[in-house]
């Protein structure tokens, strides 16, 4: 039995601490991965910083982490298409409801993952480059392709280039989720307009966006509406705090009825990282209720359905297999899909995961903080 260890969140608000962890073998439909790289996400920060406000079902001590890359060391009964020794990336869903929470957390040496949320990666793709993908690409795919979200056509590795294209607006293209949404929408045959800070505009175009607008510009909504006037807009995907309001305004101006939201209108980073911050919590709750209420009212006036997406929802519908078993393995093997955003390695070893989370809390621009193991 391999010896396992993990970066544990021993109690709400605590720093992660490295300690022994049980090793769990693969059950039916599962793989065990010896992780060689993990990445941190805002979700991990939110869970660590806000106690049980989110993921209240996750017991402490907990193992956070969604993005893993490494070698398969165990293949569960009924799994086809994977063998011991394969190099893979996977979306670890240990933080979700009704999962084997600790065994399926990403921040440990050995993680149990669902085989249907794993993809082989080519030999020339480094673990630390590929590990930026799992949560971000899953969230982007859930938002773009689920029938109850934007419901777009599915991506292919050889999109047709001749037909007149509908447009998709990705507000927040330089986020991890957004840079994957751009690539997926282009692969599905849509033209993409996105927003980012000017230093990231070239990168957005490299990923396939046709127009890029600075989201901080006071005229951003007007610019976007004027660029897309007369074109068919299939949907708007709003990513980043403050993205919901301009996204609904764009949809309203262009007669588009579908807007998907990845982020709440108020950032959870305004909450202090400590228990019983009642005043801040009350302020946060009131602000959130006010902004979301106003947003839904505006949407309703224009017949717009603005819905939140949940990154792991694809594991319960046809988008999961489409992305993880068909599109990603083929696109990564062909080199037609770029792992994005770029990885910045914060350190090596489980003890470097807390510094990676601290770096994320200070901010990231078109970058994913990664730890090698
Ligand atoms: N609902 C879900 O299941 C789910 C899953 C994953 C993530 N999320 C949420 O999605 C958001 C992005 O997550 P991520 O991991 O992709 O983030 P990330 O990669 O850490 O995002 C960093 C980027 O955010 C951009 N940004 C900051 N404020 C923005 C705004 N107001 N509008 C547009 N872009 C903005 C910055 O762009 P510039 O540097 O170009 O300025 C920066 O490049 C977060 O709010 C996260 O909580 C939700």
Q: Which two tokens stand for residue 238?
A: 């709003």
The tally of CA atoms less than 13 A away on the side-chain side of residue 184 is 34
CA of 13 from ligand 1 middle (Å) equals 22
* pLDDT value for 162: 65
User: Is the beta carbon of 343 within 6 A of some atom in ligand 1?
Assistant: no
3 Cβ contact list (under 8 Å, min separation 6): 20, 23
Segments making up each domain of the chain, as ranges: 4-132+341-372, 138-311
Q: Which of 100-114, 241-255, 273-287 has the lowest mean pLDDT?
A: 273-287
Summarize pLDDT for 259-292 with one digit per residue, the tens: 999 999 888 888 888 888 888 888 999 999 999 9
* pLDDT value for 257: 96
Is the predicted pLDDT of residue 114 greater than 90, yes or no?
Answer: yes
Contact 181/353 with Cβ under 8 angstroms?
no
Summarize pLDDT for 1-28 with one digit per residue, the tens: 899 999 999 999 999 999 999 999 999 9
If one residue of 240, 339, 361, 365 were mutated to test the ligand 1 pocket, choosing by the most ligand atoms within 8 A of its CB, it would be 240
350 Cβ contact list (under 8 Å, min separation 6): 5, 6, 7, 16, 18, 107, 108, 109, 371, 373
181 Cβ contact list (under 8 Å, min separation 6): 140, 143, 144, 168, 170, 173, 237, 239
User: Is the beta carbon of 267 within 6 A of some atom in ligand 1?
Assistant: no
For domain 4-132+341-372, the CATH class is: alpha beta
* pLDDT value for 65: 98
Which residue has the least CA distance to atom 24 on ligand 1? Answer: 175
Determine the average pLDDT of the residues in 279-306.
92
Summarize pLDDT for 157-178 with one digit per residue, the tens: 987 766 768 999 999 999 999 9
Correct CATH for 138-311 of 3.40.250.10, 3.40.50.360, 3.40.50.720, 3.40.50.1370: 3.40.50.720
Predicted structure pTM score? 0.97
* pLDDT value for 278: 87
Which residue has the least CA distance to atom 8 on ligand 1? Answer: 262
For the CA of 367, the nearest atom of ligand 1: 19
The answer to whether the 4-132+341-372 and 138-311 domains have the same CATH topology is no
Question: Rounded to whole angstroms, how far apart are CA atoms 373 and 35?
Answer: 7
User: Tokens 């605590």 label which residue?
Assistant: 14
Contact 208/338 with Cβ under 8 angstroms?
no
Summarize pLDDT for 330-346 with one digit per residue, the tens: 999 999 999 999 999 99
User: Is the beta carbon of 217 within 6 A of some atom in ligand 1?
Assistant: no
Rounding to the nearest 10 degrees, give the CA dihedral for residues 208, 192, 39, 321.
-100
In 3D, which of 127, 104, 111 has the Cα closest to residue 37?
A: 127
If one residue of 43, 177, 237 were mutated to test the ligand 1 pocket, choosing by the most ligand atoms within 8 A of its CB, it would be 177
Q: Which of 273-282, 319-328, 361-370 has the lowest mean pLDDT?
A: 273-282
Query: How would you classify the pairing of strands 30-39 and 110-114?
Result: antiparallel
Summarize pLDDT for 19-62 with one digit per residue, the tens: 999 999 999 999 999 999 999 999 999 999 999 888 999 999 99
CA of 239 from ligand 1 middle (Å) equals 6
Which residue has the least CA distance to atom 11 on ligand 1? Answer: 240
Residue 358 DSSP SS3: helix
Given pLDDT bands bounded at 50, 70 and 90, which one contains residue 146?
A: very high
CA of 310 from ligand 1 middle (Å) equals 14
Burial class (CB in 10 A: 0-12, 13-18, 19+), 119: buried
Q: What is the mean pLDDT of the chain?
A: 96
* pLDDT value for 272: 87
Residue 199 DSSP SS3: helix
Which residue has the least CA distance to atom 21 on ligand 1? Answer: 175
């Amino acid at each position: 039995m391999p010896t396992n260890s993990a970066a544990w969140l021993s109690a709400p608000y605590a720093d992660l601490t490295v300690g022994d962890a049980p090793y769990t073998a693969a059950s039916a439909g599962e793989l065990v991965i010896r992780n060689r790289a993990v990445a941190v996400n805002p979700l991990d920060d939110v869970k660590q910083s806000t106690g049980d406000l989110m993921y209240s079902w996750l017991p402490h001590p907990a193992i956070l982490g969604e993005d893993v890359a490494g070698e398969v060391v165990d293949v569960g009964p009924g799994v086809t298409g994977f063998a011991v020794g394969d190099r893979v990336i996977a979306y670890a869903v240990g933080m979700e409801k009704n999962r084997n929470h600790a065994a399926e957390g990403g921040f440990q040496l050995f993680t149990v993952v669902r085989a249907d949320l794993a993809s082989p990666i080519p030999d020339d793709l480094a673990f630390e480059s590929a590990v930026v993908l799992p949560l971000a690409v899953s969230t982007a795919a859930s938002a773009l392709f689920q029938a109850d979200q934007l419901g777009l056509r599915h991506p292919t590795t050889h999109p047709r280039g001749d037909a007149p294209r509908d447009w998709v607006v990705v507000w927040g293209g330089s986020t991890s989720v957004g840079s994957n949404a751009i690539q997926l929408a282009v692969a599905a045959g849509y033209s993409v307009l996105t927003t980012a800070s000017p230093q990231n505009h070239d990168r957005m175009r490299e990923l396939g966006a046709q127009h890029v607008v600075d989201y901080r510009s006071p005229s951003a909504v007007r610019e976007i509406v004027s660029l897309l006037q007369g074109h068919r807009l299939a949907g708007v995907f709003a990513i980043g705090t403050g993205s919901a309001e301009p996204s609904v305004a764009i949809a309203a101006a262009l007669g588009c009825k579908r807007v998907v939201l990845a982020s709440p209108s108020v950032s959870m980073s305004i909450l202090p990282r400590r228990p019983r911050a009642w005043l801040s919590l009350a302020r946060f709750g009131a602000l959130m209720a006010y902004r979301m209420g106003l947003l839904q009212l505006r949407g309703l006036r224009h017949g717009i359905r603005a819905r939140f997406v949940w990154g792991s929802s694809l594991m319960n519908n046809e988008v999961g297999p489409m992305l993880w078993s068909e599109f990603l393995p083929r696109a990564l093997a062909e080199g037609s899909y770029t792992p994005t955003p770029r990885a910045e390695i914060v350190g090596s070893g489980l003890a470097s995961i807390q510094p990676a989370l601290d770096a994320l809390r200070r901010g990231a621009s078109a970058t994913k903080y990664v730890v090698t193991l």
